[in-house]
Chain A
Amino acid sequence: MTTSSLVEAADRSTVAPAPTPARSRRGAHPGRRWRRALTPVGLLLVWQAAAQTGRLPPEKLSAPSEVARAGWRLARDGTLGVHLLDSLTRAGIGLVIGGALALVLGAAAGLLRLGDDLVDPPVQMARMLPHLGLVPLLIIWVGIGESLKITLVALGAFFPIYFNTYAGIRDIDERLVEAARACGLGQLARLRHVVLPGALPSLFLGLRLALGAAWLSLVVGEQVNAQTGIGFLMMEAREFSQTEVVVLGLLVYALLGLLSDLALRMLERRTLTWRRGLQAR
């Protein structure tokens, strides 16, 4: 327990999405928000200018306007939508499989001593393997088709959710559980009213980390013999030297990560309203 939570804590600090300082800074000085947009916009302009004056060879890096044009073209003829949907489906299926498995095993290990003894040691050992390094082995096991991509996403999502479920349950204040028992709550009711809500903040953190890992796994997985998906779009574009489409694919991946994180954080804020009072202190 001690070692695992230590490792886990280290894991969190390295992988956790950086806290967004924007919110507090914005409040401090409204003008700063614009000032902070200055450099990115400037860089974009320099990039565009460099491309237009021919300083930047178009086959190495296309101009932002070219990327935007490619995006518009592919969105209009539906190509982008089809591939995006395929990528999203893979990510979704992988997340659900990996997440559900992690939730069940994490809960078993967190709640039951037997589960802890049986489940936790192998998971602790497996987490040392870099799951993206498993690609060659996975190709031997499940082939190069859809299942490879889904397995990779599921593996990526599994570990953060498992560890945060486990830690979330273990970190629950034993005294609150006792108070609930004194109030006459049975085991099931205690799970529902104390354990689940108590572990929820940790579950959200796990889910956010899992989303990040899922996108990363998807990017890697889609570079192996994909016939569809954003990754396929990029690989195909590389063969035809369509640099602007490669850059577009990268942007789409980045946007997916950003949007999913935003959506999750919104959901978190709505679900964990009780924490607002705590944070205000």
Chain B
Amino acid sequence: MATRTTGTLSTATTRPVVTAREVRRSFGGTVVLDDVDLAIDPGEVVALLGGSGSGKSTLLRILAGLDPDASGEISRMGSQAVVFQEHRLLPWKRVADNVSLGVTGGGVRERVAAALAEVGLADRGRSWPAELSGGQAQRVAVARALVREPALLLLDEPFGALDALTRLKMQTLFGRLRAEHNFAALLVTHDVDEALLLADRTLVLDGGRIVENAPVPLTRPRAADDPGFGPVRRHLLGRLGVQSGSDRGSAS
């Protein structure tokens, strides 16, 4: 796979932080991604929706440069960080050491402390990952991504494993962090409401292609009970193959 990483020196502010062209990936004859194109602008939050097994995680791994066997061209501008569905913290490193993993440059300790403070875990730096709750561990994973000051944050169903209440809090946290740091984000999710709440644009992946690419026509700040949600939600659910009279639900 051809990968080009362009420096941040470019003055053109509208250059996408990531561009993918003609991305294809198959596993032993099964084509999972078939000619996917996509671009994400600086500061833009894009939600990637799709049924289970539609290739969302596969696409995210390719964008993150973690899949050497994919074909297509990816060009990146600026740094990236990934938050996976499971927290993926190293159990043998304390929270702060997990966050600082691979971070270079000066003032690492201060930056780690600041990142932990931002996710509300300033006092847990010395804890072991096994001592954290699921939501706390996922917040550490977010801090681990934040401390890299990424231009693009790739999130693979980051709140999927959390209970409904924690998920709502995490969504609020994500919105706040996005407003503060202005990173671009690709948010893989099963949850149409989550996509509508957080994203500027939604993509729907189906049959190995992006079959829908539309901005979210809602003003901010948003709340899940906005009357504007109904039609958009119904439309997206239809795109995801969920035929339902009800206006609440998710794609899984």
Q: Do these two chains interact?
A: yes
In the assembled complex, 26 residue pairs joining A and B whose CB atoms fall closer than 8 Å, in A order, are A175-B86, A175-B88, A176-B88, A178-B61, A178-B66, A178-B88, A179-B82, A179-B84, A179-B88, A179-B90, A180-B102, A182-B64, A182-B81, A183-B101, A184-B148, A193-B101, A197-B92, A274-B91, A274-B93, A274-B128, A274-B130, A275-B91, A276-B128, A277-B129, A278-B130, A280-B130
**Bound Cα distance A200, B101 (Å):** 19
Tell me whether B92 and A185 are in contact (CB under 8 A): no
Say whether A180 contacts B90, CB under 8 Å: yes
In the complex, the answer to whether A184 meets B90 with C-beta atoms within 8 Å is no
Secondary structure at the B interface, as helix, strand, loop or mixed, is loop
Say whether B102 contacts A274, CB under 8 Å: no
Q: Is B144 an interface residue (CB 8 A)?
A: yes
Q: Is B247 an interface residue (CB 8 A)?
A: no
Q: Nearest Cβ distance between residue B64 and chain A, in whole angstroms?
A: 6
> Is B69 engaged at the interface, CB distance under 8 Å to the other chain?
no
Determine the chain A residues whose CB is within 8 A of the CB of B61 once the complex forms.
178
Please give, as numbers and ranges, the residues of chain A lying within 8 Å of B94 by CB-CB distance. Answer: 274
A181 and chain B: residue at smallest CB distance: B66
Q: Mark A177-196, 1 if CB is under 8 A from B, else 0.
A: 01111111100010001100
* A270 located at the interface, meaning its Cβ lies under 8 Å from any Cβ of chain B in the complex: no
| CA A96 to CA B101, docked complex, whole Å | 33
The answer to whether A277 and B101 touch across the interface, beta carbons within 8 angstroms, is: no
Q: Other CB < 8 Å A-B pairs besides A180-B101, A180-B102, A280-B130, 16 of them? A: A175-B88, A178-B66, A178-B88, A179-B82, A182-B82, A183-B101, A184-B148, A197-B90, A272-B92, A273-B128, A274-B91, A274-B92, A274-B128, A277-B128, A277-B130, A281-B130
A183 & B102 in contact (Cβ 8 Å cutoff): yes
Please encode chain B, from 86 to 115, with 1 for each CB lying within 8 Å of some chain A CB and 0 for all others: 101011111000000111000000000000
Contacts of B128 in A (CB 8 A): 273-274, 276-277
- Chain A: interface residue total (CB-CB under 8 A): 25
Say yes or no for B131: interface residue by CB 8 A criterion.
yes
B residues less than 8 Å from A180 (CB atoms): 90, 101-102
Q: How far is the CA of A180 from the CA of B61 in the complex (A)?
A: 13
Q: Which residues of B contact A276 (CB under 8 A)?
A: 128
Q: How many residues on chain B are close to A (CB under 8 Å)? A: 22
**Considering residues B90, B94, B148, which has the most beta carbons from chain A within 10 angstroms of its beta carbon?**
B90
Pair B131/A277 contact, Cβ less than 8 Å: yes
State in angstroms the CA–CA spacing of A71 and B155 once bound together: 68
Residue of B nearest to A179 (CB): B88
Question: Which residues of A are at the interface with B, using a C-beta cutoff of 8 A?
Answer: 175-176, 178-185, 189, 193-194, 197-198, 200, 272-278, 280-281
B105 to chain A, nearest CB (A): 12
Question: Is B90 a contact of A194 with CB atoms below 8 Å?
Answer: yes
A281 to B130, CA, bound (A): 9
Closest CB in chain A relative to B139 CB, distance in Å: 16
Contact of A184 among B84, B102, B129, B131 (CB under 8 A): B102
Nearest chain A residue, comparing its CB with the CB of B67: A178
Cα of A277 to Cα of B91 in the assembled complex, Å: 9
In the complex, residue of chain B having the shortest beta-carbon distance to the beta carbon of A185: B102
A273 cross-chain contacts in B, Cβ below 8 A: 128
Q: How far is the CA of A178 from the CA of B129 in the complex (A)?
A: 18
Residues of chain A within 8 A of B84, CB atoms compared: 175, 179
Docked CA distance A218–B202 (Å): 69
With a 10 A CB-CB cut-off, give which of A183, A185, A278 has the most chain B CB atoms. Answer: A183
How far, in whole Å, are A183 and B131 apart by their CA atoms in the complex? 22
Bound-state Cα–Cα, A185 to B100, Å: 11
Name which residue of chain B comes closest to A198, CB basis: B92
B132, closest chain A residue (CB): A277
* A184 proximity list for chain B (CB < 8 A): 102, 148
